[in-house]
Structure 1
Amino acid sequence: MRVAVVGAGAIADSHRAAYLAHRDDVDLVAVADVDEARAVAFCAHTDHAKPYLDLGTLLAEQEPDLVSICTPPGLHVEQTKAVLAAGAWVWCEKPPCRSLAEYDEIAAAERDGGPYVSFVYQQRSGSSAAHFRGLLAAGELGRPLVAHCQTTWYRDAAYYSVPWRGRWDTEGGGPALGHGIHQMDLLLHLLGEWDEVRAMTARLVHNVETEDVSTALVRFESGALATVVNSVLSPDEVSRIRIDCERVTVELTHLYGYVAENWTYTPASPLTSDDARWRATAEDVGSSHAAALTPVLAAWRAGARPPCSGADGRRVLEFVASLYKAAATGLGVRRGEIGPGDVFYRSMAGTPAGAVR
């Protein structure tokens, strides 16, 4: 499988590592970046990838089967559609794009049987997440009742000196879209469909258009209630999901990726020998880009829609749009409420000037 990368910035290193981890199945042939030196430096750490200054030339000359999109969010729609038109699949970094309208535009460019677009929600990929889902589905843990989802990171003024960051028109949103989307996607992956969200956002420190902190209350279809916090103001950085089920509290604490030891199971009563299986997985696969790539490659070989694609990839983006709408209006927002006639369908800001409360 011939693969290529567009955008040779920091996150592209994770894509390169993922491709090299699958080098028996893929051949990383090229990278495109407007900064020639950066493209050349990226290729120096590959077997024989060739640098390009533009995506169009790369697609025409290399004819890749799959292309990683590692550019700023404002470029995702145009570049993704170009790759699809060339007949290649897309593996696109988060956030998928800047709005639900853009997501639906991307989806409309796909064709049955492929090429498809899959988005990088790598926190789903760890085997411990699949283990938890299996236990929950089997009724081993009891009903989920209360949850907390936390992405509290720290970003200084230098981080926002990059021109496209902190702006609605280029980044699309603040930490709710650009940082916390990974943990929120994992929360939805673990607990299923959400029903209603209420939220607040604020701009407390950074001189940007978007928020730098958000909080939300969520009701799931199961009846479970959750709090969600996203911040770039927090020196003690952590990513955390805690789920209190009837029989056990399950907590995942990490920063950018986890393994089995980052999960703890605390039972309501002392462990029995049967309950020891809660903490055990047959194989400890950590969450990573390499692990997330595995099902994408399998789907490509089968000509099937990959995970984190289509309706599955849209779910967390709809949740984020609803969070922003709830914060701007002060009202609860229900799943499915935001459609083409809603201002939050075309912009997370809801208005061209933004709507931070």
Structure 2
Amino acid sequence: MPGRTFRVAVVGTGNIAAVHAQNLAGLADRAELVAAADIDRERLDAFCDRWNVSGRYHDLETLLAVARPDLVHLCTPPGLHKQQALTCLRAGVHVLCEKPPALSLAELDEIGAAQTARGASFATVFQHRFGSGAARLRSVMASGALGRPLVAVCHTLWHRPDDYFAVPWRGKWEIEGGGPTMGHGIHQFDLLLSVLGEWREISAVAARLVRPTATEDVSCALATFVDGTVATIVNSLLSPRETSYLRFDFERATVEVEHLYGYGDDDWRIHPAPGHEDAVTTAWRAGPSGRSSGHAAQFAAVLDALEVGSPLPVTLPQSRATLEFVAATYASAFERRPVRRGEIGAGSPFYRRMQGGGPPWTPALTAARPQETTL
């Protein structure tokens, strides 16, 4: 049984903060939401009134000093994540950060150094890893019942109209760090990586086709994994019939999940190969069940880790592998070449900025290469 109730604070009280508060309320015996911070007083008051939060602050430093939380949930725009994470970690406070965890690999490495120095833990919200469907797939895969993974598909086909980008911080490299590759499809291919493991090489294209944004509005990548698995990844904000779809073709079965923003057990399907029906079906039915991929599943895992003093999931190294996948996608698309894992080091322009030297549709580059305005 849980031994203590942890003090939690939320920084940033927009839409995603309400999701955090609602899911924390379901864990009230283990976590108490004691404080919130936002520079918008009206939004902060509305949030605190709705969720009965007593501590109301307009700056993070005061919140940390007065409320003394055990854990801070960062629900702010991505451009604020690094500095806010550093402030918390340097104060010895654990951090659970909404995706993406930082704007670049360089920023995430700064966070990693602060985590090491003070002993507080940093984790990213990648909740799709924690649903029982994903846990079942990883378990059955580890048992050998499915055979080798061979081919995978990971599609985040969403639709965001032009007015979505009217919010001042959306669609800007310096605040969001990228388009659907960085901020939308990242949940699906993080799940892909949690199943298939270490990737080896990416070849990609990215385009800004129609949306009023500085970033891409679609990207497509072909990734190979260390074990030879080949996967296609599409991230789109241009798709009127929205879906999030992952497919894994193993030697003895195909496993699929289709949902939009979160899955349950019923969203998963398994199709055994001829001659393997009984063994595959038996193994699949024996796996975990009953847990959706919502935030609550990851929050419970985070509290479990706090109880025993282990690193919070999803750990910084795991988050870095996913963020490196993003950086490699942009590097491949903008430099028009395959990019291998580990290639983007401190000397690469894509280490400090996801756009590197700028996408081909940047005005200066467009003038030099007018034929490359969308790829």
User: What is the TM-score normalised by the length of structure 2?
Assistant: 0.92
Partner of 1:349: 355
1:203 aligns with 2:208: yes
Matches of residues 1-357 of structure 1 in structure 2 within 5 Å?
1-111=6-116, 114-269=119-274, 271-272=277-278, 275-351=281-357, 353-355=358-360, 357=375
Percent of residue pairs identical: 50
1:215/1:128 CA distance change after superposition, 3 Å: same
Aligned length: 356
Q: Is the 8 A contact 2:298 2:313 kept in 1?
A: no
Q: Structure 1 stretch 149-158 or stretch 43-52: which is displaced more?
A: 43-52
CA distance in 1, matches of 2:117, 2:82: 19
Task: Give per-residue Cα distances to partners, 1:267-324, cap 9 Å, x unaligned.
Answer: 1126327623414544311111110111211222222212212211111000000000
Q: CA deviation at 1:211?
A: 0.1
Task: Give per-residue Cα distances to partners, 1:182-234, cap 9 Å, x unaligned.
Answer: 00100000111111000000001112110000000010111111100000011
CA distance in 1, matches of 2:182, 2:119: 27
Task: Give per-residue Cα distances to partners, 1:139-196, cap 9 Å, x unaligned.
Answer: 1011111110000101111110111111111111000000000001000001111110
Q: Structure 1 stretch 271-280 or stretch 301-310: which is displaced more?
A: 271-280
Q: Is the 8 A contact 2:203 2:329 kept in 1?
A: yes
1:337/1:274 CA distance change after superposition, 3 Å: closer
Q: Is the 8 A contact 1:113 1:304 kept in 2?
A: no
Q: Structure 1 stretch 247-256 or stretch 277-286: which is displaced more?
A: 277-286
What RMSD in Å do the two structures reach over aligned CA positions?
A: 1.4
SS in 2 for 1:110: helix
Q: Is the 8 A contact 1:238 1:254 kept in 2?
A: yes
CA distance in 1, matches of 2:280, 2:194: 26
CA distance in 2, matches of 1:238, 1:279: 26
1:62/1:211 CA distance change after superposition, 3 Å: same
Q: CA deviation at 1:65?
A: 0.7
Q: Is the 8 A contact 2:129 2:191 kept in 1?
A: yes
Q: Is the 8 A contact 1:122 1:287 kept in 2?
A: yes
- Greater fraction of residues in helix: 2
CA distance in 2, matches of 1:200, 1:48: 45
Q: Is the 8 A contact 1:168 1:354 kept in 2?
A: no
Q: Is the 8 A contact 2:145 2:279 kept in 1?
A: no
Q: Is the 8 A contact 2:265 2:289 kept in 1?
A: no
CA distance in 2, matches of 1:185, 1:44: 34
Q: CA deviation at 1:75?
A: 0.4
1:247/1:113 CA distance change after superposition, 3 Å: farther
Q: CA deviation at 1:337?
A: 0.6
User: What is the TM-score normalised by the length of structure 1?
Assistant: 0.96
Q: Structure 1 stretch 270-279 or stretch 139-148: which is displaced more?
A: 270-279
Q: Is the 8 A contact 1:114 1:303 kept in 2?
A: no
1:246/1:305 CA distance change after superposition, 3 Å: same
Structure 2 unaligned regions, length at least 5: 1-5, 362-374
Q: CA deviation at 1:8?
A: 0.4
CA distance in 1, matches of 2:26, 2:169: 31
SS in 2 for 1:318: helix
CA distance in 2, matches of 1:273, 1:91: 39
